[in-house]
């Protein structure tokens, strides 16, 4: 949370810039050469992040269940990302969620401005994250809101247009939280912990946190000079990404390469955040120490 009550400079909506017909992006959006999009050929032998079918976890064949659990474990260790299908979230709800947010970002600017955010909480309609004066900006607008815990949830800050927006946000949030619980249970088991261990560590039913960020990437006249979202790692426990169905824009780091993720229809992209990655590294380290110790007996 920032101590600033307002942004250090006037906010310019990226969508408005894009729709103005500019042919050159402002200098504020031009990244340093090392930070620009990477389109070079990769040295990796893989061309996409792992794909996990959760339906196989229900198989009557124990070997299929075990194999799927191991695929998840390997994806977390080697990638920190995977795509998941047959996850239990309605495909219709996923499509409706994309649709209402697409409609929101195409509302008149004055309507969206009713939800303009500040650096105090970042909640609402925004176009920048950092508060550094003169800092480089990303080519995107966004909407950020809190879903959990309940004391932070304020549905009055959720868009009231399109008319079904608040209803769909609530339904989508509920289903995605359930999916996150399912994944944390799997991760706990894979780490040799009680199945509810990570769930409890992240606050349990009463104190767990969940937020929603919707990114809107307007058409850019010079896409080779900027990024919709700068390279980063997610600091929380886990992020579930609902990708655009038409454009593949997400890149993830794998070794020395940047791999462009090819979204699978009706899949979520799961990003294991820094906090769970630390847990995975810690418990794998403990296992390695136990194995090394056994060789010295």
* CA–CA distance, 297 with 295 (Å, rounded to integer): 6
pLDDT, tens digit only, all 297 positions of the chain: 455 578 888 899 999 999 999 999 999 999 999 898 877 665 556 789 999 999 999 999 999 999 999 999 999 999 999 999 999 999 999 999 999 999 999 999 999 999 999 988 899 999 988 778 888 999 999 999 999 999 999 999 999 999 999 999 999 999 999 999 999 999 999 999 999 999 998 999 999 999 999 999 999 999 999 999 998 888 889 999 999 887 778 999 988 888 999 999 999 999 999 888 888 777 655 444 444 443 333
Domain spanning 14-295 has what CATH number? 2.60.120.330
Task: State both tokens at 236.
Answer: 């929380």
* CA–CA distance, 1 with 122 (Å, rounded to integer): 8
Paired strand residues for 145: 212
pTM of the model: 0.90
**Considering only CA atoms, which of 227, 229, 224, 236 is closest in space to residue 277?**
236
Element containing residue 70 per DSSP (H, E) = helix 62-78
**Considering only CA atoms, which of 168, 189, 174, 182 is closest in space to residue 87?**
182
Question: What are the structural domain ranges in the chain?
Answer: 14-295
Phi, psi of 25 (to 5 degrees): -80, 145
């Amino acid at each position: 949370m920032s101590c600033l009550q307002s942004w250090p400079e006037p906010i310019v909506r990226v969508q408005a810039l894009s729709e103005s017909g500019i042919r050159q992006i402002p200098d504020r959006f031009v990244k340093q050469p090392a930070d620009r999009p990477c389109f070079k050929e990769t040295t990796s032998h893989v061309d996409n992040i792992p794909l996990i079918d959760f339906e196989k976890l229900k198989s009557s064949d124990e070997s299929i269940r075990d194999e799927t659990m191991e695929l998840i474990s390997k994806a977390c260790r080697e990638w920190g990302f995977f795509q998941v299908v047959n996850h239990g979230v309605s495909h219709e709800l996923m499509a409706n969620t994309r649709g209402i947010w697409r409609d929101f970002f195409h509302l008149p600017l004055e309507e969206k401005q009713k939800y303009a955010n500040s650096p105090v909480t970042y909640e609402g309609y925004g176009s920048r994250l950092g508060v550094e004066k003169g800092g480089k900006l990303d080519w995107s607008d966004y909407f950020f809101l809190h879903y959990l815990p309940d004391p932070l949830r304020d549905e009055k800050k959720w868009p009231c247009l399109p008319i079904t927006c608040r209803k769909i946000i609530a339904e989508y949030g509920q289903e995605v939280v359930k999916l996150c619980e399912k994944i944390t249970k799997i991760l706990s088991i894979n780490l040799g912990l009680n199945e509810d261990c990570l769930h409890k560590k992240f606050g349990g039913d009463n104190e767990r946190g969940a937020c929603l960020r919707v990114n809107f990437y307007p058409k850019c006249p010079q896409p080779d000079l900027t990024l919709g979202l700068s390279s980063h790692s997610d600091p929380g426990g886990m992020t579930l990404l609902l990708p655009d169905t038409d454009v593949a824009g997400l890149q993830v780091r794998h070794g020395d390469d940047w791999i462009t993720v090819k979204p699978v229809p009706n899949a979520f992209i799961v990003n294991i955040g820094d906090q769970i990655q630390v847990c995975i590294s810690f418990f794998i380290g403990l296992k390695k120490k136990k194995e090394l110790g056994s060789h010295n007996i």
